[in-house]
Structure 1
Amino acid sequence: MSIGAPVSRVEGIAKVTGRAKYAADHTPKGTLHAVIVGAPIAAGRVAGIDVDAALAVPGVVRVLTAKDMPRFGEIGPPAAVLSMPMQHDEIRFQGEPVAIVLAESIDAADEARAAVKVRCAPQPPIGLGAGKNEAAPSPRMLGEDLDMGHVDRSLAESKFVVRQSYEQPDRHHNAMETSGTVAQFEDGKLTLWDAVQAGANVPPVVAAALGIDAADIRVIAPHTGGGFGSKGYVWPHQILAAACARIAGRPVKLHLRRQDQYACVGYQPWMLQHVSLGARDDGALTAIDHEIVNSTAIADTHVEPSSEGSKSLYACPAIRTRQLIKRIHINVPTPMRAPVEGPGLWALESAMNELAEQLGMDPLDVRLKNYAEVDPLTGKPWSSKKLREAYDAGARLYGWRTRHQRPREEGPWRIGHGMATCSMGNYRFPGGALVRLKADGSAIIEANTHDIGTGTQTVFCQIAASELGLPVESVSIVWGDTRLHPGGPVYGSSATVGTGSAVALACREIRTKLAALGAGDDPGAILRAAGLEELSASGHFTLPGGAPFNADGADTPHAMRTWGAIFVEVGVDPDLGLVRLRRAVGAYSVGRIINPKTARSQMTGAIIWGWGKATMEGSTQEPNHGGWLAKNLSNVVIPVNADIPTDITIHFVDEYDSHASAIGARGIGELGATGVDAAVAAAVYDAIGVRVRKLPIRLEPLQR
């Protein structure tokens, strides 16, 4: 069986040999290179733009400003930005595109960009300190604010109460491949080579903006060099690239520089969360109150509904959640790997650890005491939940129950241990795939899906091989083109569930056709005996009511989530204020594991991601002028090899979830990034007695 085998990635050789082509690797004949000129201030308006010096640079063809741009049509989601730049003279954030240089070479375009002079009429920008909280727009993608039970009364009557606030900064995705688009019009049809996580999202948005037929837009994007959510929605540079190509009558390559990423695509927003927990003597929760405010843009809105985890993680009779936003002069945020529960569990799980201390109970026992056997909000049974088994396995592998029997000091280091629950919504999108079985015993999968480095193409081949009874080496896949069979997106940990299920369903249809042709174990031999060159079938993974998105089993008889537990050991040097990760154990309940090698890699990377969030990462907006202080990787602290120990253990509970997908799987890629920050903060407290409630964990509060 191919499913369950640790198969190496099918696209790996193409990547290490340089054959894998990314968006910017495409340069059609006659391509002009485009660079964006950003607004130098965060608030105000453009008073004028002087382009003469830029036009004098050899190789520069045009400098486009708002007066050169067409008036775009009305656009909507999945566009990330609904109020497009270069349509007016208003400036809403530093770096907002106000001009675009088109040149014969990227060097000429860069030189000319510096020569463009933007004259501004500035206004004082609104920053975090001046912005006012307001109610988040409703309805939201993942649900409304909740008021269940009697929260205030329950808190007042509780013997044990935790009331704390938890803060985290803005963070940028910083994928290795910056976002970019190559646009080419031919005979009225538009081709986009694009760095995306969902190529199907692009045509309707670009078509609405430019007033063309979406059927005349082709998006080619087989390889994407990382995304983490920043390439999920459609961003202005994609529309601007197409508009420039139409204006110039030539192909245009608009590939964002690293600093452009800090203005032209999104990031995870700053969040402040207020959590109150009430409990009885035995540790049973009586109330959960969770309020969040996140920063967002003046003109566009992103809501980070981080309270969703608080609605479903623990059995509790009274739960209240509220989501607020704070509008400031900054570009609009967007989902980042492990959105929603990632930020939300930083606050909730930190509060649970503080509650355990008040109760004098082991943090694991408090969680077991409040184990939710059914969904607390709806009362529906879980599609499958083996979190209890994950707790047990993780604690055993880590040695949690005997942790304080081991040495608490090692030279200058004080040793601490922490744990937290991991959870993510089970996000499902429709998926589709075409499978062709050949008479030579090979099979080809065709699907408009994408490769963002997670190994999904390998998993799809394994699914087809297992369903058809073929060696995995006999299955290949063609992907990343909107002319192929529509697939699903590669975000929300949804690709294997959606497109993977579609592959399985297509293969099952082929097996039905094979059975009608005759008996046998060799699919190719059956085709040859029937005189057929191939059999094909398309598979479609659909959601209740034909919905385009489904979270947590909405509109189904079952509630669906992914689950896990993270245990970490840290060393803290209180003299220098240093914290180091020594080891980690993650145990997860995620349904069927298709490829343990790629799955383990995903979870290991997610734990590293969580460590970076907990101890290193943060993007700072300068309070007076509104710009990001660091706009490149040289000034951003992220984990490197020396920061991460080899002692990271990943365990998957044996599980098959027949309700979540056609293959028994749920999403995994983001789950491992949740809870890590809370576990690290708990381990720091265990080591030196300092309770950290603001991320990242800096040197100063740790020093004695």
Structure 2
Amino acid sequence: MTSFIGAPIGRVDGRAKVTGAATYAAEFRPPGLVYAALATSSIAAGQLTALHTAAAERAPGVLLVLTHLNAGKLPYQSPAARAAVDPVAGEQLRVLQDARIFFSGQPIAVVVAETQAQATYAAALVRATYAVDTSARTQFDPAQARPTSLAAAKRGRGPETRQGDPDTALAAAPVQVDQRYVQPRMHHQAMEPHATIAHWQGEQLTLWSKSQWVGNERDAIALVFGIPAANVRVINPYVGGAFGSALRTWPHVTLATLAARRAGRPVLLELTREQLFYSIGFRPRTEQRVALGAEATGQLTAIVHEAVGQTSTYEEFAEATLDVPAVTYACPNRRTSYRLVDMHTNTPCPMRGPGHVTGLLVQEIAMDELAAALQLDPLELRLRNFAERDFRKDLPWSSNQLRACYQAGAERFGWQRRTPTPGSMRAGSLRMGLGMATALNPAPRYPIQASATLLPDGTIVVRSATSDMGPGTYTSATQVAADTLGVPLGRVRFELGDSALPPAKEHGGSTTMASVGPAVQAACQDLRRQLDMLAGRPVDLTTTDLPGLLRHAGLLQLQASGSAGPNATPPTHSTYGFGAVFAEVHVDPDLGIVRVARLVGAYDAGRIINPRLARSQCLGGMVGGIGMALMEEATWDPRFGRVLNANLADYHVPVNADVHELDVLFVPSEEPLMNPLGVKGLAELGLCGVAPAIANAVWHATGKRVRELPITVDKLLD
């Protein structure tokens, strides 16, 4: 029997995507569809004193203009427990429920018209007057930061942790590094804008909505409108990129649902590119201090890591910024501090590697600075401080091939050619720099259910309400099913992205394959057992007349189910994915232009189900890391509480010309304790470590240490 697990199979949904057959949220067309557009606030904080909508209401094709004056009150019931993707405290924006303004860009009206052009034009006619709050908090000021809440602490994001006596150890350390670093506000910039089509049919509501967690969107909207969750169905078979932005349910989903109920027709509300900067979340600006103390041998004796992030005034978004740095290296004395600045902005949200990438970024730059102070090779410094276990929890790793990642990556990259002195290497007329960083990301597993159904024509349909925003869930789940059943790939069809399917948790946190895969495997194993019982013997699904077997048993189809529990790793172990990233940059000495000539990433992600898809995930992470290091920054205007570059022309992301040689390798590894497939999460691991490796390479090329990203020409020429 051919084994499909581990095979580099092309995407089973690839043809649908490249031919346009794949249908995204905004592309469904229920009969009678009409279109909506938003009018938004132009102030950062205050009250609406008047709304002038008459011109919009008279505009051609307009069916409805909703504001807080006529939208009616929505129940906004509280959940029994907050979803893991939601902020830890506060209340979601209760859209069109009163006159308060919490941030610039907040929706203040929604216009429904026969065409999108008519709705957009009419929304531009809405005029508002305000009572402006002159004390609006639009400046990121670390001096105004507060400790995180008790709710954040319960999620492991508390204000402070301490191990040993770090301050005394730091003061006594022969070699010290103590620096501050800034990572700016960043936005997801997925190809597909967020959109929702809402369609009421009596008391039943169907939402075609961009979502990474259709079950959570169903439950969230049911609570907002005070209706049973069973009355709501969320459908989203394809997601055109999200990077975490579609994990929670945003106000535009509520607005589309409300508008459809009032208009009596299905309504499409699709956000513009500019509105994406205000209507969904973002990676928050974070300023950090890292202080490292070490012996002359390079052995760490003290780590102090302090982080200040931003959140909105109406919700508390707390990131796991300090989690990964707390376990990366062995050190007996450690202190972390995490605080938040409340600002009049929309609420941040998870963005690929939320918190983990942010904390690892500055830790890995600080480790490079320590290596320079010690006159020690950066890779050797990391090896001397290798963490043999999770020292934060005092637990052994469930598996850890980080040393193999260091070795394999360094050999592939040619790290031994690096000369220690900054500016000492050349690529023709350009300065060459080589840098590296450790990659680390948690590898959790969530409870998932799946079903496997044998149809009369011999096709096996496997279903789960997970999502696929690009990693290849359709393909990898099909591979697991075909491998478990022992049938060709073409006999299996995997269906996802529908809240009516067996429930699944969020498609995020690099958890999908580790969670969905075992559930699919269990469902297919159950189907095999049932077929063996029907036949009275072990069945070969490739040669047995399965339709005949069903007919003989008097069945039209045969359905099986399976589930996978939460993290199967015993509480006696800690589970992470590991990696090492190596970067080569070329810098023009006169112009300060940086080119990332080469990236090599070596990863331990457990068993690789599909190396072709896995490589693609890491390539995407590398491209994102180039953007994080050199380009991406939301330019914030504190006068108005707005992003000045809220478009794809001015918010710079890497394009083809910025991406050169990217090399990915996976070290042999399996995760024996976590799940039956032996896999660990990969997607976010591919971003971890990339930006600091590039930053460290830029320092090696130029001798200039840029501690506020992105590394732009002006900072190198200054």
Fold-level similarity (TM above 0.5): yes
Q: Contact 2:141–2:341 (CA<8 Å) still a contact in 1?
A: no
- Which residue of structure 2 lines up, in the alignment, with residue 518 of structure 1? 537
- Distance in 1 separating the partners of 2:93 and 2:673: 40
- Distance in 2 separating the partners of 1:112 and 1:506: 51
Unaligned 5+ segments in structure 2 are none
The match for 2:241 among 213, 226, 237 is: 226
- Are residues 264 and 75 of structure 1, via their aligned partners in 2, closer, same or farther at CA, if it must alter by over 3 Å? farther
2:505 pairs with 1:488: yes
- Which residue of structure 1 lines up, in the alignment, with residue 622 of structure 2? 607
- Which residue of structure 1 lines up, in the alignment, with residue 49 of structure 2? 47
The match for 1:366 among 362, 368, 381 is: 381
- Distance in 2 separating the partners of 1:106 and 1:328: 33
For residues 397-439 of structure 1, what are the alpha-carbon distances to aligned partners after superposition, in whole Å with 9 as ceiling and x for unaligned? 0111223399822343100000000011113221111012457
Name the aligned partner's letter for residue 56 of structure 1.
Answer: R
Name the aligned partner's letter for residue 360 of structure 2.
Answer: L
What is the CA distance between 1:521 and its match in structure 2?
3.5
Q: Contact 1:519–1:526 (CA<8 Å) still a contact in 2?
A: no
- Are residues 488 and 74 of structure 1, via their aligned partners in 2, closer, same or farther at CA, if it must alter by over 3 Å? closer
Name the aligned partner's letter for residue 519 of structure 1.
Answer: P
Judge which range, 402-411 or 271-280, deviates more: 402-411
Q: Contact 1:606–1:673 (CA<8 Å) still a contact in 2?
A: yes
- Which residue of structure 1 lines up, in the alignment, with residue 147 of structure 2? 135
2:686 pairs with 1:672: yes
1:90-489 matches, within 5 Å, as: 90-124=100-134, 125-129=136-140, 132-140=144-152, 141-144=155-158, 145-404=160-419, 408-438=425-455, 441-489=458-506
The match for 2:598 among 579, 583, 587 is: 583
2:671 pairs with 1:657: yes
What is the CA distance between 1:101 and its match in structure 2?
0.7
Secondary structure at the residue paired with 1:635?
coil
- Which residue of structure 1 lines up, in the alignment, with residue 520 of structure 2? 503
For residues 605-661 of structure 1, what are the alpha-carbon distances to aligned partners after superposition, in whole Å with 9 as ceiling and x for unaligned? 10110010000000011121111102211221110001111x211010111112122
Secondary structure at the residue paired with 1:331?
coil
- Distance in 2 separating the partners of 1:452 and 1:568: 27
- Which residue of structure 2 lines up, in the alignment, with residue 543 of structure 1? 566
Q: Contact 2:157–2:338 (CA<8 Å) still a contact in 1?
A: no
Name the aligned partner's letter for residue 135 of structure 1.
Answer: P
- Which residue of structure 2 lines up, in the alignment, with residue 65 of structure 1? 67
Unaligned 5+ segments in structure 1 are 545-549
Name the aligned partner's letter for residue 320 of structure 1.
Answer: R
Judge which range, 428-437 or 7-16, deviates more: 428-437
Q: Contact 1:414–1:571 (CA<8 Å) still a contact in 2?
A: yes
Q: Contact 1:305–1:323 (CA<8 Å) still a contact in 2?
A: no
For residues 153-187 of structure 1, what are the alpha-carbon distances to aligned partners after superposition, in whole Å with 9 as ceiling and x for unaligned? 11122111111111011011111111111111112
Secondary structure at the residue paired with 2:219?
helix
Q: Contact 1:442–1:524 (CA<8 Å) still a contact in 2?
A: no
What is the CA distance between 1:245 and its match in structure 2?
1.5
Q: Contact 1:27–1:253 (CA<8 Å) still a contact in 2?
A: no
What is the CA distance between 1:84 and its match in structure 2?
1.5
- Distance in 2 separating the partners of 1:310 and 1:121: 44
Q: Contact 2:47–2:132 (CA<8 Å) still a contact in 1?
A: yes
- Are residues 439 and 211 of structure 1, via their aligned partners in 2, closer, same or farther at CA, if it must alter by over 3 Å? closer
TM-score, with normalisation over the residues of structure 1? 0.96
What is the CA distance between 1:529 and its match in structure 2?
5.4
What is the CA distance between 1:701 and its match in structure 2?
2.5
For residues 62-107 of structure 1, what are the alpha-carbon distances to aligned partners after superposition, in whole Å with 9 as ceiling and x for unaligned? 2111022232223453456613121111111111011111111111
For residues 19-40 of structure 1, what are the alpha-carbon distances to aligned partners after superposition, in whole Å with 9 as ceiling and x for unaligned? 1111111232222211111001
Name the aligned partner's letter for residue 467 of structure 2.
Answer: H
Judge which range, 466-475 or 334-343, deviates more: 466-475
Secondary structure at the residue paired with 2:389?
coil
What is the CA distance between 1:366 and its match in structure 2?
0.9
- Are residues 123 and 608 of structure 1, via their aligned partners in 2, closer, same or farther at CA, if it must alter by over 3 Å? same
- Distance in 1 separating the partners of 2:60 and 2:510: 47
Q: Contact 2:148–2:157 (CA<8 Å) still a contact in 1?
A: no
For residues 556-582 of structure 1, what are the alpha-carbon distances to aligned partners after superposition, in whole Å with 9 as ceiling and x for unaligned? 221001100000000011210110001
- Distance in 2 separating the partners of 1:489 and 1:16: 26
What is the CA distance between 1:510 and its match in structure 2?
2.6
- Which residue of structure 2 lines up, in the alignment, with residue 688 of structure 1? 702
- Are residues 437 and 284 of structure 1, via their aligned partners in 2, closer, same or farther at CA, if it must alter by over 3 Å? farther
Secondary structure at the residue paired with 1:163?
strand
Secondary structure at the residue paired with 1:586?
strand
- Are residues 12 and 53 of structure 1, via their aligned partners in 2, closer, same or farther at CA, if it must alter by over 3 Å? same
Q: Contact 1:288–1:310 (CA<8 Å) still a contact in 2?
A: no
- Distance in 1 separating the partners of 2:524 and 2:376: 51
- Are residues 5 and 75 of structure 1, via their aligned partners in 2, closer, same or farther at CA, if it must alter by over 3 Å? same
For residues 268-320 of structure 1, what are the alpha-carbon distances to aligned partners after superposition, in whole Å with 9 as ceiling and x for unaligned? 11000111111112211111111111111111121122111122111111121
What is the CA distance between 1:440 and its match in structure 2?
5.6
Quote the sequence identity (%).
39
RMSD, matched Cα:
1.9
- Distance in 1 separating the partners of 2:691 and 2:266: 45
- Which residue of structure 2 lines up, in the alignment, with residue 547 of structure 1? none
- Are residues 385 and 129 of structure 1, via their aligned partners in 2, closer, same or farther at CA, if it must alter by over 3 Å? closer
Q: Contact 2:140–2:310 (CA<8 Å) still a contact in 1?
A: no
Q: Contact 2:55–2:126 (CA<8 Å) still a contact in 1?
A: yes
Name the aligned partner's letter for residue 38 of structure 2.
Answer: I
- Distance in 1 separating the partners of 2:559 and 2:99: 54
What is the CA distance between 1:249 and its match in structure 2?
1.9
Q: Contact 2:528–2:539 (CA<8 Å) still a contact in 1?
A: no
- Distance in 1 separating the partners of 2:69 and 2:543: 62
Name the aligned partner's letter for residue 703 of structure 2.
Answer: G
Judge which range, 137-146 or 328-337, deviates more: 137-146
- Runs of 4+ deviating beyond 6 Å: none
Name the aligned partner's letter for residue 63 of structure 1.
Answer: V
Q: Contact 1:49–1:118 (CA<8 Å) still a contact in 2?
A: yes
Q: Contact 1:434–1:536 (CA<8 Å) still a contact in 2?
A: yes
What is the CA distance between 1:495 and its match in structure 2?
0.8
Q: Contact 2:140–2:343 (CA<8 Å) still a contact in 1?
A: no
Secondary structure at the residue paired with 1:666?
coil
Name the aligned partner's letter for residue 445 of structure 1.
Answer: V
